[in-house]
Structure 1
Amino acid sequence: MVKLSKKQKSLTEKLDAEKLYGIDEALQTLRDLKSAKFDETVEVALNLGVDPRHADQMVRGMVSLPSGTGKDMKVAVFARGDNAEKALAAGADKVGAEDLMEDMQNGNLNYDRVIATPDMMGVVGRLGKILGPKGLMPNPKLGTVTPNVEQAIKDAKGGQVEFRVEKQGIIHSGIGKLSFSDDALKANYNAFVDAIVKAKPAGAKGKYLRKITITSSMGPGLKIDMSDVYSA
């Protein structure tokens, strides 16, 4: 168990579970309560007024975080020939075809993003039951099925994150590390929330964005003042 300092204990005891924080105060509070020796990830969770069981209320997409994620993204690419060479040159961690498929079927799935050229979908399709549940199945709507593997790899490595609403109507994602500056985290926060707002589905009824919470790997969940959503 992580031992808190007297200052951290005092701050934790004073936390009001119902308080609404401005993003600046929330980030400062997470920094004050930092107890882990590693560089904690800052995460944002949004509660949405949608029921993803209905196709017209699904919220899913990609967003590029301007300050990056602070995470070394591992990318696998299904490609052959020139596209395979381009993928390797662009920094893909693993490139292949049937051999990569067999590798994944054997349980080697330590990747954060899987990309495929269109001609490889016949091979990738055999991995649907493996990649689908992990959210790794290449999808043309998300730009992970594309002939431009170089750009897709650059986006993945450069801070692009995928978001998808869960059954309870919640979307969450890491937006950086506590070591990031406030400006960097706020830029990522605003980009992420803005992408979710713009992705509002046609079938959403009533209030769409219901609650925003920000936390760190070992920190408390802090409720964000909704009027502060788009502050710089």
Structure 2
Amino acid sequence: MAKQTKKRQAQGETVDREKLYGVDEAIALVKQNATAKFDETVELAMNLGVDPRHADQMVRGVVSLPKGTGKDVRVAVFARGDKADEATKAGAEVVGAEDLMQEMQDGRSDFDRVIATPDMMGVVGRLGKVLGPKGLMPNPKLGTVTPNVGEAVKAAKSGQVEFRVEKAGIVHAGIGKASFPEADIRANFDAFIDAIVKAKPTGAKGKFVKKVALTSSMGPGVKVALEEIPGA
């Protein structure tokens, strides 16, 4: 067993790994233990009562966090002509068509979100093996295949977060930075929880939200009491 650092031991003394904390207390503990030399991301993880191997139990969607993520999101857009200009004006870092497809096939990956106009999906479709495993493939249901590329770029940069449940029934996302005020983290927490509960699939049986935990990039996990989670 790896030896704990003094810092990790000190963090462990402030958090009871078995206790279920109220949301506000959990947020305060996460901020208290975010002592790295960089602005740590506050991460929310949820264990859901679903088996995503079944199509009717998939949990996937997008949510706009009211206080933003604190992250500089780089956006790539597949578009031509006026739509390409619209994407550039909205702040997209990378805009292109077949040329961009070739760059991605050659390994370019300096982006966090990929958006495409509907007419470009014939080109983007060739990148399934490149973008699919990274969860970056544009999808109409997520608003990343749209004629309104300018709005989509602005949404991606202003705090929109995509979520997708993993094989073990876990969904997680960054909901802000440790430097955020506690009230801002709470607002983002509530928005993300609400989006997950509303995305409950028809095939989900029994208890939907099983566990919720908060942590920072380098800090200990803090379990959250489900009594404060609507729909849990």
**Percent identity of paired positions between Structure 1 and Structure 2:** 66
Equivalent in the alignment of 1:146: 146
Alpha-carbon distance in 2 for matches of 1:151, 1:104: 24
> Is 1:184 aligned to 2:184, yes or no?
yes
**Counterpart for residue 198 of structure 1:** 198
Give the conservation status (yes or no) of the 8 Å contact 1:43–1:214: yes
Q: Which residue of 1 aligns with 2:111?
A: 111
One-letter amino acid of the structure 2 residue matched with residue 106 of structure 1: D
**Closer/same/farther in 2, CA of residues 89 and 11 from structure 1, 3 Å limit:** closer
State the one-letter code of the partner of 1:70: G
SS across alignment from 2:101: helix
Rounded to whole Å, the distance in 1 between the matches of 2:32 and 2:113 is: 33
Residues 28-81 of structure 1: per-residue CA shift (max 9 Å, x gap): 212222220100000000000000000000000000000000000000000000
Q: Deviations over 1:179-219 (max 9, x none)?
A: 00011000000000110000000000110010101000011
TM-score by length of 2: 0.94
Task: Identify the residue that residue 17 of structure 1 maps to in structure 2.
Answer: 17
Distance 2:89 2:95 in 1: 11
Q: Which amino acid aligns with 1:101?
A: M
- Alpha-carbon deviation of 1:2? 9.8
Distance 1:116 1:32, change over 3 A: same
Per the normalisation by structure 1, the TM-score is 0.94
- Unaligned 5+ segments in structure 2 are none
Return 5+ residue gaps in structure 1 as ranges. none
Displaced runs of 4 or more, over 6 A: none
C-alpha contact 2:11 2:220 (8 A) present in aligned 1: no
2:77 alignment partner in structure 1: 77
State how 1:127-142 maps to structure 2 within 5 Å: 127-142=127-142
Q: Is the 8 A contact 2:50 2:57 kept in 1?
A: yes
| Contact persistence 2:15–2:220 (CA under 8 A) | no
- What residue number does 2:100 align with? 100
Residues 1-80 of structure 1 aligned to structure 2 (within 5 Å): 4=6, 9-13=9-13, 15-80=15-80
Cα RMSD of the aligned pairs, angstroms, is 1.6
Shift of 1:229: 2.3
Give the distance between the partners of 1:154 and 1:223, measured in 2 at CA: 33
SS in 1 for 2:82: helix
